[in-house]
């Protein structure tokens, strides 16, 4: 097996020991707290990681888009929930094809769409399981009141093509609130509408078997509330710079560690104090903080974007002279959009490259 420092850069490097430790830590935590895990595959878009999560006891995976779900289903993942509404006749047809092949759950947040899904599922001859998506304050998707959830449940209940699975409420706006106490206050306040929807549905005689939501930022708080039956944690498998500043546990402990990196090479070092590396806007997500240099350069080295294909290492010691050919490892800024820039993970154990895992869902925003 080649050593990682012999492989070309930029490389998306996944440390398997740390990935496995993150999956094991989340599994043990969920078991201990009696809550289901339905990890979000938008984070990794990878069938091999999905399979590892399923083998560890996940109930299934989540995907955001039909295309992402198609890619994972084609690679053998057979239990998927699509967490955003699916509209347009062509996409709904693809959804029905998927529903024939795998155990699928979809979400709805409006009558017209529920009607369209019901008609398509009736024509396809297999009911589609749906969760009613509730807007818990992110204002991205979801019904905005318990009363609307009840009306929608009645429509779903009256259609042969649909099966009411329960509710979804994802509080995306709280996940990265850094302070645990503030995140807890906001999560508990904002999930009240989901609790109201659950109570209203039950009062109206509907079963609410599943309440799905939450993410890496809120999962500990969600479990404490006892409202969600499963959490859609995504980023915990990798932990990026974005999440490193979030106190996930309230006591400062770090159960999940950085497993995902981009390795780069210094391609020009003709000045003291800084050097140019071979990775820029096309190699990292740019919506979050900058990548963090973790190894290969003196402590205190920072990374700055320096063009599509380039970055600039800035050394704390302005007299430091780097050499071309030196390699650095960076913790990815925001994991989800970063992995979408690569075809595969270069998987390492220590310094050895042990496998390459395809990112089947890469680019599948369709």
Contact predicate 324/9, CB 8 Å: no
**Shortest distance, position 190 Cβ to ligand PLP, whole Å:** 14
107: how many CB neighbours lie within 10 A of its CB?
24
CA distances to 4, 26, 30, 184, 227 from 216, rounded to whole Å, are 29, 10, 12, 13, 16
Binding mask 211-230 for ligand PLP (x = CB under 6 A): ----xxx-------------
Query: Residue length, the chain?
Result: 366
DSSP state of 105: E
Q: What does the alpha-carbon distance between residue 84 and residue 221 come to, in Å, rounded to a whole number?
A: 23
Whole-angstrom distance, CA of residue 73 vs CA of residue 88: 21
User: What's the CA gap between 324 and 101, in Å, rounded?
Assistant: 51
Site for ligand PLP in 73-92 (CB under 6 A): 83
Q: Kindly tell me which of 40 and 320 has the beta carbon lying closer to ligand PLP.
A: 40
Q: Which stretch binds ligand PLP (CB under 6 A): 73-81, 188-196, 231-239, 305-313?
A: 231-239
Residue 9 binds to ligand PLP (criterion: CB under 6 A):
no
Provide the token pair at 79. 């239990």
Least separation in angstroms between CB 21 and ligand PLP: 17
Q: How far is the CB of 241 from ligand PLP (least distance, A)?
A: 13
Interacting residues with ligand PLP between 93 and 122 (CB under 6 A): none
Least distance in angstroms from the C-beta of 214 to ligand PLP: 7
Q: Please work out the total of residues on this chain that contact ligand PLP, with binding judged by CB under 6 A.
A: 15
Give the integer Cα–Cα distance in Å for 42 and 163. Answer: 25
Which helix (H) or strand (E) element contains residue 109?
A: none
CA distance 265 to 163: 53
Tokens of 155: 């429509």
The least distance separating ligand PLP from the CB of residue 298, rounded to whole angstroms, comes to 32
Query: According to the binding rule CB under 6 A, does residue 255 interact with ligand PLP?
Result: no
Nearer to ligand PLP, 172 or 358 (CB): 172
Question: Residues of 130-141 as b/e, b for ≥16 C-beta within 10 angstroms?
Answer: bbbbbbbbeeeb
Among 23, 40, 148, 222, binds ligand PLP (CB under 6 A): 40
Is 233 a binder of ligand PLP (CB under 6 A)?
Answer: yes
Residue number, 61 or 201, with CB nearest to ligand PLP: 61
> Which residues from 145-204 bind ligand PLP, rule CB under 6 A?
170, 172, 175
Phi, psi (5° rounding) for residue 87?
-120, 180
**Radius of gyration for the alpha carbons in the chain, expressed in angstroms and rounded:** 22
Least CB distance from residue 218 to ligand PLP, whole Å?
8
The nearer residue to ligand PLP, 164 or 233, going by C-beta atoms, is 233
Stretch binding ligand PLP (CB under 6 A), from 8-16, 36-44, 151-159, 307-315: 36-44
Q: By the 8 A CB rule, do 288 and 240 touch?
A: yes
Q: Which is nearer to ligand PLP, 39 or 280 (CB)?
A: 39
| Cβ 34 to ligand PLP shortest distance, Å | 20
Binding flag, residue 234, ligand PLP (CB under 6 A): yes
Alpha helices in 13-145 (DSSP H): 16-33, 47-55, 66-74, 89-101, 111-124
Q: Examine residue 137 and tell whether it contacts ligand PLP (CB under 6 A).
A: no
Minimum CB separation of residue 152 from ligand PLP in Å reads: 18
235 lies in the site for ligand PLP, by CB under 6 A? yes
Q: Which single residue is written with the structure tokens 């204002």?
A: 139
- Binding residue for ligand PLP, selected from 232, 276, 338, 346, defined by CB under 6 A: 232
Q: Which residues bind ligand PLP (CB under 6 A)?
A: 40, 42-43, 62, 83, 170, 172, 175, 215-217, 232-235
């Amino acid at each position: 097996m080649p050593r990682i420092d012999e492989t070309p850069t930029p490389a998306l490097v996944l440390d398997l020991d740390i990935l496995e430790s993150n999956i094991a830590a989340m599994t043990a935590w969920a078991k201990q707290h009696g809550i289901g895990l339905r990890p979000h595959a938008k984070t990794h878009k990878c069938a091999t990681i999905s399979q590892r999560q399923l083998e560890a006891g996940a109930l299934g995976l989540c995907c955001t888009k039909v295309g992402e779900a198609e890619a994972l289903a084609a690679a053998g993942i057979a239990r998927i929930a699509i967490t955003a509404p699916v509209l347009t006749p062509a996409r709904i047809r693809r959804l029905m094809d998927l529903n024939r092949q795998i155990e699928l759950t979809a979400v709805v947040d409006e009558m017209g769409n529920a009607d369209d899904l019901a008609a398509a599922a009736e024509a396809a001859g297999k009911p589609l399981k749906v969760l009613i998506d509730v807007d818990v304050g992110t204002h991205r998707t979801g019904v905005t009141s318990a009363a609307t959830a009840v009306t929608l449940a009645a429509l779903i209940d009256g259609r042969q093509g649909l099966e009411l699975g329960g509710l979804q409420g994802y509080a995306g706006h709280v996940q990265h609130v850094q302070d645990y106490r503030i995140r807890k206050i906001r999560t508990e306040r904002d999930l009240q509408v989901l609790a109201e929807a659950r109570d209203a549905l039950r009062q109206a005689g509907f079963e609410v078997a599943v309440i799905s939501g939450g993410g890496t930022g809120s999962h500990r708080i969600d479990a404490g509330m006892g409202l969600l039956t499963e959490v859609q944690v995504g980023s915990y498998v990798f932990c990026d710079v974005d999440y490193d500043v979030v106190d996930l546990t309230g006591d400062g402990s770090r159960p999940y560690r950085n497993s995902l990196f981009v390795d780069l090479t210094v391609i020009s070092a003709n000045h003291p104090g800084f050097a140019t590396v071979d990775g820029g806007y096309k190699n990292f997500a740019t919506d979050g903080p900058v990548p963090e240099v973790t190894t290969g350069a003196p402590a205190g080295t920072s990374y700055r974007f320096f063009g599509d294909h380039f970055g600039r290492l800035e050394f704390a010691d302005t007299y430091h002279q780097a050499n071309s050919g030196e390699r650095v490892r960076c913790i990815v800024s925001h994991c989800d959009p970063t992995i979408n820039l690569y075809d595969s993970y270069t998987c390492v154990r220590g310094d050895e490259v042990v496998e390459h895992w395809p990112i089947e869902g890469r680019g599948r925003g369709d």
